Amino acid sequence: MSGSLIDGVRLLQHAIAEGHAIIPPPGDRVASWPAFAKPVVDAWQAASDNLQSTIVTYREQVTGVVKRLLAAVAKTSIGVLQFILSIIIAGVILVYADKGGVTLRRIFIKIGGARGAEYAKLSEVTVRNVVKGILGVAVIQTLLSGIGFAVVGLPAAGLWTFLCLLFAIIQVGVGPIMIPVMIYMFSTADTTTAVIFMIWGIFVLISDNFLKPILLGRGAPVPMLVVFLGAIGGFIVRGFIGLFLGAVILSVGYKLFVAWMADKEAQSDEKLEQT
C-alpha cells in the first residue's frame, strides 16, 4: 500500500505539472446512461472543469502543496514500519499481560485512590472498544476497498485506499471514496466489471453494520468528534501510526475525564446532603 500510495501522489504531481485533468471528465459511456443520471454527469463535468481551471491558475501553489504531501507520504512508509515494530513489541508485552495488568491496576489505585480500580477497568474497556470496534472495522473496510481497487486496476489505488482508511477511522466511512469510484467504473470499464465492482462496493459500505456489533464490546463508545480529533491530531503529530495512537489516547482521556467529573459531582452532592 505504501508503494502504491507514493506512486499515486507522484502521478498526481505529474498530472499537475503537465496540465492534465486531476478529475477525469466523464467518459463516452455516460451518453448511454438514463436521464435521471444527468445531474450526476453534469456535476462530474463541472467538478472536472472547475478543478482544472483552478489548478492552472494556481499551479505553483498547488505544486508546492503536492510536494509537501509527497514528503508526508514518504514519512507514512516509515510509519508503516513503526506500526509493524509496535505489533512485535505488543506481542512481547502480551506474554506478560496478566502481571502487567495487575501492576497497572495498582498504579491506578495509587493515583486515583478508591476509584482507581474502576478507572483502570474503564480504560481497558475503552481501549478494547476503540481498537476493535472503530480501528478494527476501519482496517477491515480499508482492506476490502483496496482489494477491489487493485482488482479493477483503479489508477493510484494506494492513494484512494489510504483516504479510505483516513475516512473510516474518523467515522465518516469509505463512502466518499467508494461511491465516486463506482460511478467512475461505470464510465470507463465494461458493464460486467462495473456491476461486479458496484456489488463489492455496496458490500464494503454496509459491512460496518454487522462488523461493529461483532467487534464492539460492551460499554458506551466515545463520541465521533473525539475519535475524529484524535485521529487527525495524531496523524499531524505522529504520521501514519498517529492515526491509531491519537484515536485511542484521546478516547481513553475523554472517558477518564468524564468519569472523574461524574465522581466529583457525586462527592459534591453527598456533601450537600450531609450539610
pLDDT at 200: 94
Q: Bigger pLDDT: 105 or 50?
A: 105
Q: Bigger pLDDT: 84 or 54?
A: 84
Task: Give 141's pLDDT tier (boundaries 50, 70, 90).
Answer: very high
Please say if the pLDDT value at position 202 is more than 90.
yes
Which of 209, 257, 249, 205 minimizes the C-alpha distance to 231?
249
Report CA-CA distances (Å) from 16 to 74, 175, 241, 260.
19, 26, 29, 52
| Helix axes 137-152 and 208-215, enclosed angle (nearest 10) | 150
pTM, 2 dp: 0.69
Q: What is the mean pLDDT of residues 124-128?
A: 82
pLDDT at 76: 64
Which range in 148-162, 194-208, 241-255 is most confidently predicted, on average pLDDT?
Answer: 194-208
* pLDDT, tens digit (0-9, with 9 covering 90-100), for 237-274: 777 777 788 888 888 888 888 888 887 666 666 666 66
Report CA-CA distances (Å) from 155 to 11, 22, 124, 194, 270.
9, 11, 41, 15, 63
Please say if the pLDDT value at position 20 is more than 70.
no
